[in-house]
Amino acid sequence: MPGFLIAAVLVLFVGILALNFTTGEKKIEQSVERLYAAADPAFARAMGVLLGPAILQGNRFEALLNGDRIFPAMLASIRDAKKTITFESYIYWSDAIGKEFADALAERARAGVKVHVLLDWVGSNKMDPTHLATMEAAGVEVRKFHKPAWYSLARMNNRTHRKVLVVDGKVGFTGGVGIAGLWTGDAQDPQHWRDTHFSAEGPVVAQMQAVFLDNWIKATGAVLHGDNYFPELPAAGNDAAQMFSSSPSGGSESMHLMYLLAITSAQHSIHLSSAYFVPDKLSTQALADALKRGVKVQIIVPGEHTDAAIVRRASRARWGDLLAAGAEIHEYQPTMYHCKVLIIDSLMVSVGSTNFDTRSFRLNDEANLNIYAADFARQQVDVFNADLSRSRQISLHEWQQRPLSEKFLEHAASLIGAQL
């Protein structure tokens, strides 16, 4: 190949790579000023007006711990569907649970239910083609998000990391779980992960449906609407909530801003469960500022049982300022810890697909359910404390005394932290 062609190919490759590593939007570059506490009505107004969508009253939620409770609840809801099923997931692999979901979705499609499944192209690359064939033969509409094509190479690094299931427009599920054998069981060993998913009923389910529709339109150009997808939703409980989402194609910094605003509003406590904790400078500063004003900050991350050793190294490289400021960082011991839950002042719970890292804050399509309910939040603090009892705290002294070889590898991993 002539030299000029080689040069042209290299320039094209570098250009595509650069486009995949940036959103083209302005980054948040300054700390968010603290103007109110999480208990102040101004906080809810900011979350529901400045960031949106509106906070809706009249919802009911249930926390489902680990696969033994998560998957039966999701499958039971699918099998009870009468009109529509919309399902978006990052991970969908070729395990027995993948077949069970494929069979349940196919059965409902054969029964006349409109079934729409949106899977990330990267996250579903381990999916058994027979599962896909089973669903499509039954009439399930299956689409892959950002499947590579010559005209979309600049979007290959933008994945849908969202995990949303809505049945008949009335019942919703979201959290950290993918469809794979690793999520089955009860976190009893390293082959069965610890995770939490949440079911929802009430008006907020319409917002969950809208989040699914956002990416369905991107993938298909088709608009799903009408009573079968957006029925009238009476109150199902007493809790307020909003379904929050972000995307590089429409507000990539909004999830980052939401987290910063919540942390900045904390007055008493921050409980953070994070499967992939690689905080940027602003997030670290927000947490350190919270510690300075007397907020107790406790963080649980994976320990030696992790599916991404390089992420763990990048994470540990960034703990120094937080540990020095008084944050408690605990590593979960029994198995991979895949929870993604933020609890502010035992008043607000944010749960969903978002990791505490730059990839989630800027590159992925993410979705979190924000629940504003003290009783529910206190229950999730109890769950957090149960996980804490199975975790090991890392002290500042231990972190400082780790071997030079570990420090070098962690620093090297941290340099590419934005892409992890």
Which of the four pLDDT bands, split at 50, 70 and 90, describes residue 94?
confident
Residue 67 has pLDDT above 60, yes or no: yes
Q: Other CB atoms closer than 10 Å to residue 1's CB: what's the count?
A: 7
Give the architecture (CATH level 2) of 25-419.
2-Layer Sandwich (3.30)
Annotated catalytic residue, options 330, 340, 357, 365: 340
Residue type, 214: D
Annotated catalytic residue, options 131, 144, 163, 330: 163
Which has the higher per-residue pLDDT, 184 or 416?
184
- Look at phi and psi of residue 221 and say left if phi exceeds 0, alpha if psi is from -120 to 50, else beta: left
Q: Is the distance from CB of 205 to CB of 86 less than 8 angstroms? A: no
What does the pLDDT look like over 326-350, one tens digit per residue?
A: 999 999 999 999 999 999 999 999 9
Q: Say whether 407 is catalytic.
A: no
- pLDDT at residue 10, as a whole number: 46
How far apart (Å, rounded) are the C-alpha atoms in residues 289 and 322?
10
Q: Say whether 161 is catalytic.
A: yes
Which has the higher per-residue pLDDT, 370 or 126?
370
User: Alpha helix (H) ranges present in 273-403?
Assistant: 281-292, 309-317, 320-325, 358, 374-388, 396-400
Mean pLDDT value of segment 356-379? 92
Average pLDDT over the chain, rounded to whole?
90
Domains of the chain, residue spans: 25-419
What does the pLDDT look like over 217-258, one tens digit per residue?
A: 999 999 999 999 999 999 999 999 999 998 876 655 788 999
Residue 14 has pLDDT above 50, yes or no: no
Q: Is the distance from CB of 339 to CB of 273 less than 8 angstroms? A: yes
How far apart (Å, rounded) are the C-alpha atoms in residues 351 and 119?
20
Angstrom distances, CA of residue 319 to CA of 27, 69, 280, 325: 23, 33, 11, 10
Annotated catalytic residue, options 116, 144, 146, 161: 161
- pLDDT at residue 11, as a whole number: 38
Annotated catalytic residue, options 95, 214, 345, 365: 345
What does the pLDDT look like over 285-319, one tens digit per residue?
A: 999 999 999 999 999 999 999 999 999 999 999 99
Q: Is the distance from CB of 128 to CB of 134 less than 8 angstroms? A: no
How far apart (Å, rounded) are the C-alpha atoms in residues 412 and 398?
20
Q: Say whether 340 is catalytic.
A: yes
Q: Say whether 168 is catalytic.
A: yes
Residue type, 368: N
What DSSP line would sit under 236-266, residue for residue? -SSEEEEEEEE-TTS-TTHHHHHHHHHHHH-
**71 Cβ partners below 8 Å, 6+ apart?**
97, 100, 177, 183, 184
What does the pLDDT look like over 147-164, one tens digit per residue?
A: 665 444 445 566 788 999
- pLDDT at residue 26, as a whole number: 53
* CA terminus-to-terminus distance, the chain: 34
What does the pLDDT look like over 45-63, one tens digit per residue?
A: 999 988 889 999 999 999 9
**Range in 143-147, 182-186, 208-212, 366-370 with the lowest mean pLDDT:** 143-147
Q: Say whether 163 is catalytic.
A: yes
